Chain A
């Protein structure tokens, strides 16, 4: 009985992956493939943030720092060493994990408001370092010169199809891992902390430790998203680590639904699609986005997936 939900999730993930991988075999659409590559990065970024926001009740305004750090660590490793791509990706995630552990150790003991502000402060600090350390990061012009596209197991990531396949596999595996974490006893503990931290504390949960784990795990997966983002733009840019990028992830979470595991993925897809469509017709992207979000917020009064779960409970649970 206990293993069934995990098996079900794995089966759904496998089916989704098969469908995504099969699409280019039926019909090649470079624009769709680009969309999925970007969505892979953004979905990991937003879902990892929701581990904090939705599961633990910790609203981090500085999550973009780990996304940016993952991108820079990966791109710099690829440029400065001859390491294989998977090793560079794992190293980048490890660097981000360590950074999240250090930042989290300082932040997680603070109350909600101060936690939000100090995560933002750390992000601004990191952004300033990226801008100022020109010899390493290229400053505000970003890391130039591209990422060497080394082959992995016969895959050439300079090819759009191979990059699409790579990103889809990484994103699905990443999301599956996050799903397991969210559904595990640890995930239940996080929700208990969110709902009533005093009760959790009385039951013997060490609050700061659980929160620090959640913060570190979320940072690691944001870093993995950053690796995919770096592969897409073939470089790393300060904007990836800037606060508006954290805002994008928060938008995605709120838009998709904080109480549904796939809510942030849907939110990210809506945001990216909106960006793609709206920028074709107008330069007032921000205005249109604001109106759409307002309409969602006032119309649904919650994230899209949360709304559907409410009006259609059995079908989506």
Chain B
């Protein structure tokens, strides 16, 4: 009898503590907690982890310099598993029960839109560091007073890439193009955006075939043979991460890269590491490259990251780093952690950073960054992997972005 009661008591106690645990913890006094959520498990956990790595370096740097407003900072990292409803829950949890006073939203796009709506309710300062979907900040209905974006933006990349590729196509007389992009919103929308601008600069191009492989597809044989049979002069692909490296590795077997020119904006260090024989001459954007901008500060940061984590940084790494630079400058200027005060300080702010095309990045009035490094060059099998990098013309990018915003009725 006693034994039974003990077991029941233990079970009841266990269940009660399990249920009580989520709202027991509270922030420790004086340490400034910053909530960070991202995809830290699953197939693209590598990108979330590279965001976390960069933020841990920033935490050490900022604390060594005295913290924010004299308070040491501490990140609270959470894994959303890439699920929007979980992303929304985590944002609430980070602020409501973990006591975070600032947010870094390192979610991919779908999660970022869910976080955006929670931030609208909570009124806390938040910087989205990885969502590239333009409407997050471009659409005034979706924009939130205390939420900002420090990341590439789809429309910026599309304009820069189209200008570069139209010049390249004119020089090489490449009129017949094929596309191969992942079969979901990012792949289809961004391909359409690239083609819209591409055709604007080079009206005589013809798309001879389109391939839409599934995300995470292990075998690209069908896609590669379809592309080869269509006999295009050039291929544009938005495959990324593991899909891009698998495509290149399998494309090498079919000698795809000797039969057509190839262009992609999505080459990153982890992709390069996963490709066995990187074909030379792929036209490629620099998502993050230690040699572009070719400055000592950029090189130093890239090397420091490599030394600490024994791997190269990604595009997501520099974006998270710059987000902390913006927070640092804005909190200093506002002398406050209040969401509205930080928002007022961030709007229009220009900071010095190794990742800007001219050593600076600006947070525009519409809560998104401009002037970050966008360059296009061509691959080479050895370091630095992308050479002859040409910097994009930001004047032209902003001009065409404004046109696009008018078309979308955002302005």
Contacts and interface: CB of A to CB of B under 8 A. Distances in A.
**Are A and B physically bound partners?**
yes
Interface of A: 29-32, 34-35, 38, 131, 134, 138-142, 144-146, 158, 160, 229, 232-235, 237, 239-240, 269-270, 273-277, 279-280, 283-286, 304, 311-312
B89 interface: yes
Contact of A234 (B18, B25, B86, B117): B117
A237 B139 CA distance: 19
A141 B88 CA distance: 14
B22 A283 contact: no
B223 to A, nearest CB: 20
A312 to B, nearest CB: 8
A127 B21 CA distance: 34
Given A237-B84, A270-B18, A140 B45 contact: no
A233 B114 contact: yes
B42 to A, nearest CB: 9
A304 B4 CA distance: 16
21 contacts: A29-B97, A31-B22, A31-B92, A32-B23, A34-B89, A34-B93, A38-B89, A141-B133, A145-B141, A146-B116, A146-B120, A233-B118, A235-B84, A235-B114, A237-B85, A237-B110, A273-B21, A277-B18, A277-B21, A280-B25, A283-B40
Given A142-B84, A234-B121, A284-B41, A279 B78 contact: yes
B75 interface: no
B84 A233 contact: yes
Contacts, number: 116
B22 A35 contact: yes
Given A30-B92, A34-B93, A144 B142 contact: yes
B253 to A, nearest CB: 30
A140 B23 contact: no
B113 A30 contact: no
Contacts of B21: 273, 276-277
B18 A31 contact: no
B81 interface: yes
Contacts of B109: 141
Most A CB within 10 A of own CB, among B8, B109, B110: B110
Interface of B: 4, 8, 15, 18-19, 21-23, 25, 40-41, 45, 78-79, 81, 83-86, 88-90, 92-93, 95-97, 109-110, 113-114, 116-118, 120-121, 133, 135, 139, 141-142, 184-186, 188
Given A233-B89, A240-B85, A269-B19, 9 more contacts: A29-B23, A31-B22, A31-B92, A32-B23, A138-B185, A139-B184, A144-B135, A235-B113, A312-B8
Given A234-B118, A283-B45, A283-B79, A144 B113 contact: yes
Contacts of A234: 88, 114, 117-118, 120-121
B18 A141 contact: no
Interface of A, secondary structure class, is helix
A235 B21 CA distance: 28
A276 B40 contact: no
A139 B95 CA distance: 29
A152 B136 CA distance: 29
